[in-house]
Amino acid sequence: MTDSGRDGLFSGLFDRGAVGTGDAAWLQAMLDAEAGLARALERAGLAAAGAGAAVTAAAAASQFDAAELGRQAVLTGNPVPALVRALSARVPPDAREAVHRGATSQDIIDTAAMLIANRVLRAVTGDLRAAADRAAELAEQHADTVMAGRTLLQQAVPVTFGLVAAGWMISIDEARAELDNVRATGLAVQFGGAAGTLASLGSAGLAVTTLFAEEVGLPEPVLPWHTDRQRILRLAAALARACTAAGKTARDVTLLAQTEIGEVAESAGDPGRGGSSAMPQKRNPVTSVVILGCARRAPGLLATLAAASEHELQRAAGAWHAEWEPLSDLLRLTGSAASWSAELLAGLRADPARMRANLDAAGGLPLAEHLAAVLAPHLGRLAAHDLVRDAAAGAVRDGLSLPAAMLADPAASGKLAAAGLTRADLEAAVEPTAYLGTSAVLVRRALTAHRAGAAERSTSE
């Protein structure tokens, strides 16, 4: 049996993560939950010796028909009852009492969801770590590479490409740290029985819960959380945050890779990567495009899970069912976005010469703020602002550089001469490298934080 969707038409784009979240993954996770419960029951003395091993040996997804389980699910509203019958049929008679004892369907599906999330998060954080490490390399390499800052998609004051890459890095690092935190503290086994009381196990209920958590490798919660969906919502929010970090990087790359800008380029990668069905010359930033395709679906999935998070009384009528597919999709898309992001940054190429040329083409206009600051001590702050504003309008109108436009205005040039300011002074004021503020310091600070985080992880692992 293959994982649903892994070989589909769009799977190469949106199901790229290292861990599957389709039918096979869910089925195996549910079987892992049942097997872990059987082993816990045996350890608690509530099942025959060897029952846990027998159930575990039978709990291989490849031996079950997911499609048939799905057809049977229409009778009960979920696939667990059919799975329990199928699993029981595959174990020796003396081990059957260990299958699903004390559990309800939600215990198995919720625990399966946590197991899948744990596996996906491990892979996602690894990919995000690789992406952030590469962003760190770009930040360090280009700490002094000047480029146009852009606000509202228009050139603003200059920045450095190193600072841009450092911004990507910190965003990815913080999203990864939140996923690590969720994985460490937000996941938990689910075991409460019919209404969260574990009544069918009598006084052994809590002991079995503890052993069940140990067997499946998940933390034990204080209480069963059948209708407290904060864990799901916290997980979903962290996944959406990771998609946002990946999407920010990808969006910047698509903008900077535009033909008219050309300041960065994706790696050519495989032959034909970036091609068009109609235009042979195209080199589309397809890696970034696919990341954005993943990331833009995350907010809607998060909203669905948030809307489904209010569960009534001891078991929800429909809200629980509404979680399964959106959570699967969000895990899948986050895994894909993270994997693509690692590839995007690994092959990203910057063009410092093009960055400087694009900045110079603006004729000093992005440095208007700096020029006004230079003139202020001589002319007064407001007068300097107005003088530069009028010169900027003339520069745009007449196709001149900002210093040339200022000198071409007799009134302005007279004020400059009276203040003892020369063309060389104006040209120096619009030199981009003279107006980078704390860019270099910020890059160093970001790199220090990144390295400290890496060292902390290395110590704790």
CB 99 within 8 A of CB 88: yes
Top-level CATH class of 115-190+225-357? Answer: mainly alpha
What would the DSSP string read from start to end of 91-149? S-GGGGGGSSTT--HHHHHHHHHHHHHHHHHHHHHHHHHHHHHHHHHHHHHTTT-EEEE
pTM across the whole model: 0.92
What would the DSSP string read from start to end of 354-415? HHHHHHHTTTTGGGHHHHHHHHHHHH-HHHHHHHHHHHHHHHHHHT--HHHHHHHSHHHHHH
The token pair that represents 216 in the structure block = 């499946």
Single out the catalytic residue among 85, 276, 349, 423: 276
CB 323 within 8 A of CB 254: no
Single out the catalytic residue among 43, 122, 315, 457: 315
In sequence order, which ranges of 257-367 are alpha helices (DSSP H)?
286-295, 298-307, 324-347, 352-360
CB 332 within 8 A of CB 294: no
**Residue 151 CB: number of other CB atoms within 10 A?**
8
- Give the integer Cα–Cα distance in Å for 137 and 166: 9
pLDDT tens for the 461 residues of the chain, in order: 335 456 788 888 889 988 899 999 999 999 999 999 999 999 999 999 999 999 999 999 999 999 999 999 999 999 999 999 999 999 999 999 999 999 999 999 999 999 999 999 999 999 999 999 999 999 999 999 999 999 999 999 999 999 999 999 999 999 999 999 999 999 999 999 999 999 999 999 999 999 999 999 999 999 999 999 999 999 999 999 999 999 999 999 999 999 999 999 998 766 556 555 545 555 789 999 999 999 999 999 999 999 999 999 999 999 999 999 999 999 999 999 999 999 999 999 999 999 999 999 999 999 999 999 999 999 999 999 999 999 999 999 999 999 999 999 999 999 999 999 999 999 999 999 999 999 999 999 999 999 998 887 766 66
Angle at 254 between CA 252 and CA 255, to 5 degrees: 65
Listed by start position, the domains of the chain span 1-103+200-219, 115-190+225-357, 364-429
Helix (H, G, I), strand (E, B) or coil at 206: helix
The token pair that represents 449 in the structure block = 């934080």
Measured between alpha carbons, how far is residue 55 from residues 91, 201, 222 in Å?
Answer: 6, 19, 27
**315 belongs to the catalytic site:** yes
Q: What fold, for 1-103+200-219?
A: Fumarase C; Chain B, domain 1 (1.10.275)
